[in-house]
Chains A and B, each alone.
Chain A
Amino acid sequence: MLKRPSSRRRHPPQEVQINLVPMLDALVTMIAFLMFTMAFLSLNMIETPLPAQSESPPQVKEEKPLQLTVTVNERDVVIWSPFNRIKSVTIPHLESGNGRVNAIQVHDELVKIKREFPGENNLVVMPKGSIPYETLVEVMDAARTIEKTDGVISAPNAAGVPEQLKVLFQNVVFGNILGG
């Protein structure tokens, strides 16, 4: 005689229903909180220090400093050194761009200077008072970042080993805050 089958199998499987409503409430609350507190603006910054007046007497060096300076005029940009370490370059603004700075040429000239002076990181910007903020940002961008198309620019690090540079002239200072 066969054994009687188990009665447990005869019962249909019971459906377990999870109550999703409280979880849904929690999710909606979290999403609302995140949306209210999140910064949707994707901002970046260009840091410049206030030029400080040195109280100690200037050190007498054999070699004059480069003190690379970019003067932004209404019609052109002049790249020069007060100590004549480089030949001055004047780059007229774009005629087609409604008087906008020729940022590509400015950048190319600065790349050439960086190859000549790879250890130099400082740049003095001297804009005229009528130059808009948009143009200042454009000039500072051209002076600070190395593009992929610029090729490799290297300088010896502290150990004397050549190292690829990632920035052009990182330290930008406004040279005429007091006037000029």
Chain B
Amino acid sequence: MSIRKSIRNRRTRRNIHRDFDLQLTSMMDILVIILVFLLKSYSTSTNSFTTIKGIKLPYSKSQDVPRDSLHLIVTPAGITFDGKTVVSFVPISPESPESAAYAFASEDLTEGNMKIWKLFDALTKARQTAEENNKRLPLRDSSGNPIPFDGVLAIQADQKVLYDTLRKIMYTAGLAQFRTFRFLALRQEPI
């Protein structure tokens, strides 16, 4: 009895396998829709700026879209440039836990506590690399010289970072021949 049942079951199973055909058309439709959406979004994303963990950007109503440039990130923990942590902030007095994360170590600052020398070194190196790259490029200005260094620095800072920190960063960047700063913020859609 049980053998007979087993044979019947096997037949049924075989029939199912023979007739089973995965319907790929609907899946193709979904994938094509996703692809079109991604292509449309891809065409509007003109920069490759990334963010890092622990940073909370402010919102801005500005309509200017940032173009690719050298990129500096200021988090509560420190300053990151070109994907590497250049300066780490140190905790100060325990009475002020909110501002503790944003204090510079005294050995990181020179020139009347305004120049962040580690950041200056990193920015100068980046400028020199950019200038060398410009020399290798076939592009030349009207007098036949290589395209000059644009001196643009995009700054992505946590919303709680104080102006005093930003001022020191801008001062240091100015010493390293950076002349334009682009402050990045999250897009706030108009109401």
Contacts and interface: CB of A to CB of B under 8 A. Distances in A.
Q: Do A and B come from one complex?
A: yes
Interface in B15-38: 24-25, 27-28, 31-32, 34-35, 38
A54 interface: no
B167 A174 contact: yes
Contacts, number: 153
Q: How large is the interface on B (under 10, 10 to 19, 20 to 34, 35 or more residues)?
A: 35 or more
Contact of A44 (B63, B160, B173, B179): B63
Interface string B157-178: 1111111101100110110001
B27 A47 contact: no
A150 interface: no
A24 B184 CA distance: 39
* In the complex, the 10 A-B pairs of residues with the closest C-beta atoms, listed nearest first: A129-B164, A134-B159, A39-B45, A45-B66, A34-B38, A134-B58, A20-B24, A42-B187, A45-B182, A27-B31
Interface of A: 20-21, 23-24, 27-28, 30-31, 34-35, 37-50, 52, 127-134, 136-138, 140-141, 144-145, 174, 176-179
12 contacts: A20-B24, A23-B28, A27-B31, A34-B38, A43-B57, A44-B187, A45-B66, A46-B60, A129-B162, A130-B162, A133-B158, A145-B61
